[in-house]
Amino acid sequence: MRTVLVGLIGLWLAAAAEKWTVDDLMLQESASSLNWSRDGQTVVYVKSRMDKEKGESISHLYLKRLGESEEIQLTRGQDSESGPKFSPSGKKIAFLTSRKAPGAAGAPAGAAEAQGGGAQVWLLNTGGGEPWAATKFERGVRAFEWLDEETLLVAAPEDSTLHDQKVKERKDTSQVVDDEKHAAPVRLFKFELKGSKATRLTANADRITSVDASPDGKWAITVHNRSLAEIYNQKIKPVTMLTDLSSGKSVELFAGQRLYPRQFHWASDSKGFYFSAPYTTHAYLYSASVSLAYWYDVALGKHTKVDLQWENGMGGGMSATPDGFVALLANGARNKVARYTRAGSGWTREWIETEGVQSVTVSEDGTQAIYTHSTASSPAKWMLAKLEGAKLADAKTLVETNAGWKKKPIAKTELVRWKGALDEEVEGILYYPHNYEAGKKHPLVVMIHGGPFGHDADVFSERMAYPHQLFAQRGAFILKPNYHGSSNYGLKWGESISGGKYNDLEWIDVEKGVDALIAKGLVDAEKLGVMGWSNGSIITIELTTRTTRYKAASAGAGDVNWSSDWGNAVFGDSFEQYYLGKTPMDDPQLYIRKSPLYRMDKVKTPTIIYFGTEDKQVPTEQGWQHYRALQHYGKTDVKFILFPGEAHGPRKYVHQRRKVDEELAWFDKYLFGTAADVNEALKPESALAAMAKVRKAGEVPETVERGAISIGRFEVTRAQYRAFDAGYAVAAGTENYPASGISFERAEAYCAWLSKKTGRTYRLGTEEEMGSLLTKSKAENTLDAWAGYAVSVDDASRLSSLVEGMGPGALLKAVGSYAGSGDDPLFDLGGNVAEWVRTKDGKGKALGGSADRPVDAKSTEAARGDYTGFRVVLEGR
């Protein structure tokens, strides 16, 4: 009985909450790039959100003083900012932006060069005022650090050479691949704020990719890229340099030791730094690895490996403390948090037991920590806590985003495990349907992560590639498997698909996970779908060649032909050499066996394919081959969508929206069987669409979901009202006009009658519910529309006798005669008849525009009785 009750409560909660929309995902807000002032009293960070008007994401800086609730937005506008960092005193913030300095627009010839190109360092005062441009490097700034209150350390490309200038003069857009000879070196510069003076510190011929300065401003760690083909084949590795900023002398660290650091964290006393570096058993490829921790002592010039006492290595970043560091340790879908304390020549470990921690940043004095808390069922928020030994104590919410999501139903999630390929345990995350009912079998959509050396964590993540809530809202389970080769499960698991075993195990892991859910009675075996992006798409494609049981597939940026991928992908050689073990020249038959292109004749799953036209990670031609092969065999439906100008994942709003809309429509048609016939020539909010809906309407008014309630799509029509009141006179041809001349009491009586008739609860809307919707509109049936101009209050008075002389309700029109509002539109909110609502004290009040009154926001004059009607509200769904 308890199970049934819980299920019913869950269904009621889902029904009472607002539905998820595609824009809830597309327009979501995220917080990142946290930087803490040295005194531990203030933080600055970046908030990013898709800007619908600009069509892409915009990032701005925010500041918060700890102990105060106010969040201060520091920057605004259409330009983005990134990488904010406090000056040592905390009085200034430096950041990167490509915005133009004041006066740059419309400046004379040559001024653009004077402003510099690319991203530059800008400054702002934490006490207030406009930000201002600091640097003006010709090719922009790649990275920067504060050295002292008036000096920056900057990594920037060198200015143009004569060769570069001649190419530009010729307007030559030709590209020489891997042109090491002419690639601009990226060097270190000291930049003095007073006088805006830049001084070159290094003469390296390679390219600096990261800079980390010591807190005392005396040392800098830099990582240098030495080959433009490094990503492609990983043959020439980057080097790490330590530069004495007082003398300018640089020394290479870790030469010949197969140690390639990726993160650096200076101790607050500048005597050394912690760093992480990947470890792999492969001779030179790092496609799968575990992350280990090290300490480097500047005075001794030596490094020491930290014994993490954890085979899987680190699963996220680390943050230095005065006596050690805090780190996240790799533990499958749920990382563990540990504090390491220096003890003699080693370190001791203590577990921090707080759950749901996704990142940790410690204040310089080690007394406070800001951590990200999230699970797959709880959106991310930043928490501020005291760091007391191995405890995150007195945690309080510091930064929260997407407040509107609190009104949405969020799928229940849990970790699940099953026996996969090689009879080894596989872990995954299971999302429950919003309308889950125990004992009922639901559809299943498998969403497969990319990588392959990536993983799905127990963290809230709703995005274009994997819109979980939109599918759970449709009544589906979602399974996210961390298949063989995924990260965070140790080196053996990550390397298990290398050396020619790629895609031998992964698809089997997925299939056995699906079988396990079917065996539990959760999933309807006849309603299976599968989707993924990048490597998730590759496994999706593989599955469609192995089985026909999936009713719909979505493949975003996935390979089908490894021979062509080897030379075209930006990391083609390193990827294929690691996972396939050979080049296509070494073993062409291996590449044919591994490529699903040669098994497309077996595919019967309707498949939708997506690619950006500029994708270099999975080359766009892979999508063409996939599409053409399915088209050639003609055994299933296929659709191919290209996103112009986009790379491996679309960034523009219109493309992200198109992907999700198309995907939902595809699964509605082939998996859920709920797709409705859509007339592409008919705008949903148009008067023509409204007329079609009105003609189909019966005695019960159609309603549209808006949050926890449903609102009448139209004002109650005369025909609908006459079903309640047989004595209500309706002139021929006006059956679809709004019922008018209705008192508040009779409107409420109609709702009571309709509730009894249908067994559902209908009522009038409240002033609180309807106040923001029922506003006068120039685009609807008002006196302005009839008069042909914006009618003033005095002109309205002059016209009143004319309108009254035309007879009761003479200016009314059929409901839906004007365009509606919203994606699932409501009609006549701003005109036709004013509508009754219930006030807080239970009285009636007519709101909204009407055909007899002007669109005058300052006017409070009510509509006449013959221009007053109502629409219904349906409680629940």
pLDDT digits over 800-857, tens only? 899 999 999 999 999 999 989 888 899 999 999 999 999 999 999 999 999 999 998 6
Closest CA to 550 of 558, 541, 559: 541
Average pLDDT over residues 710-726: 96
Question: Token pair for residue 343?
Answer: 């003890």
Rg of the Cα atoms in the chain: 32
How far is residue 536 CA from its own chain's centroid?
17
Please check whether residue 155 lies inside any domain of the structure: no
Query: Whole-angstrom distance between the N-terminal and C-terminal Cα of the chain?
Result: 24
Q: Is residue 862 part of a domain?
A: yes
User: Of 343, 364, 385, which residue is a domain's last?
Assistant: 364
| Confidence check: pLDDT of 616 > 50 | yes
Rounded to whole angstroms, the Cα distance separating 646 from 649 reads 7
Cβ(49)–Cβ(58) below 8 Å: yes
The predicted structure's pLDDT at residue 552: 99
At 220-232, the pLDDT tens digits run 999 999 999 999 9
Tell whether 517 and 479 lie within a shared domain: yes
The residues, any chain, with a CB within 8 Å of residue 39's CB and separated by 6 or more, are 90
Q: Over the stretch 406-435, which tens digit does the pLDDT of each residue have? A: 999 999 999 999 999 999 999 999 999 999
Q: Is residue 235 part of a domain?
A: no
C-alpha span between 725 and 751 (Å, rounded): 12
Q: Quick one: 339 and 296 in the same domain? A: yes
Does residue 750 lie in a domain region?
yes
Confidence of residue 859 (pLDDT cuts 50, 70, 90): confident
**Rounded percentage of the chain residues whose pLDDT exceeds 70:** 96
- The 10 Å Cβ neighbour count of residue 187 is 22
720 lies in the same domain as 658: no
Tens-digit pLDDT profile for residues 587-604: 999 999 999 999 999 999
Domain residues for the domain of 464 are 406-670
User: What values do phi and psi take at 808, rounded to 5?
Assistant: -60, 125
Q: What average pLDDT does this structure show over 551-556?
A: 99
Does residue 634 contact residue 667 with C-beta atoms inside 8 Å?
no
Q: Two tokens at 62?
A: 């925010």
Asked, for residue 709, whether it belongs to a domain, the answer is yes
Q: What is the mean pLDDT of residues 144-166?
A: 98
Give the per-residue pLDDT at 821. 86
The rounded distance, in Å, linking the Cα atoms of 223 and 207 is 8
Same domain, 727 and 587: no
Residue 176 lies in a domain: no
User: What SS3 state is found at 543?
Assistant: helix
Angle at 34 between CA 36 and CA 93, to 5 degrees: 60
d(CA 318, CA 315) in angstroms, rounded, equals 9
Question: Could you give the CA distance from residue 658 to residue 464 in angstroms, rounded to a whole number?
Answer: 10
Q: Looking at the structure, do residues 578 and 647 belong to the same domain, yes or no? A: yes
Domain boundary among 309, 335, 364: 364
Segment 610-637 shows an average pLDDT of 99
My answer on whether 519 and 613 are in the same domain is: yes
Q: Give residue 103's pLDDT.
A: 61
Looking at residue 858, what is its pLDDT? 76
Residues 447-486 as b/e (b if ≥16 CB within 10 A, e otherwise) read bbbbbbbbbbbbbbebebbbbbbbbbbbbbbbbbbbbbbb
pLDDT, position 627:
99
Distant-in-sequence, close-in-space partners of 138: CB < 8 Å, separation ≥ 6: 113, 116, 117, 157, 159, 160
User: Mean pLDDT over residues 520-547, rounded?
Assistant: 99
- The 3-state secondary structure of 460-508 reads CCCCCCCCHHHHHCCCCEEEEEECCCCCCCCHHHHHCCCCCCCCCCHHH
pLDDT over 50 (residue 488): yes
Res. 12: pLDDT tops 70 = no
- 378, 341 Cβ separation under 8 angstroms: no
Q: Which residues contact 696 (CB under 8 A, 6 or more apart)?
A: none
Domain assignment present for residue 153? The answer is: no
Diameter of the chain measured on Cα atoms: 100
If pLDDT is split at 50, 70 and 90, which confidence band does 112 have? very low
For the residues of 699-710, what is the DSSP string, one character each? SSPPEEEETTEE
Verify that 662 and 740 share a domain, yes or no.
no
pLDDT tens for 341-389 read 999 999 999 999 999 999 999 999 999 999 999 999 999 999 999 999 9
In a domain, 555, yes or no: yes
pLDDT at 246 over 60: yes
Residues 779 and 866 in one domain: yes
Q: Are residues 425 and 279 in the same domain?
A: no
pLDDT at 10 over 50: no
Same domain, 808 and 837: yes
Q: Are residues 490 and 355 in the same domain?
A: no
pLDDT band at 104 (very low <50, low <70, confident <90, very high): low
Tokens, residue 41: 């009293």
CATH number at residue 428: 3.40.50.1820
Do 640 and 701 lie in one domain? The reply is no
Q: Is 450 helix (H, G, I), strand (E, B) or coil?
A: coil
Overall number of domains in the chain: 3
Instruction: Work out the percent of the chain whose per-residue pLDDT is above 90.
Output: 88
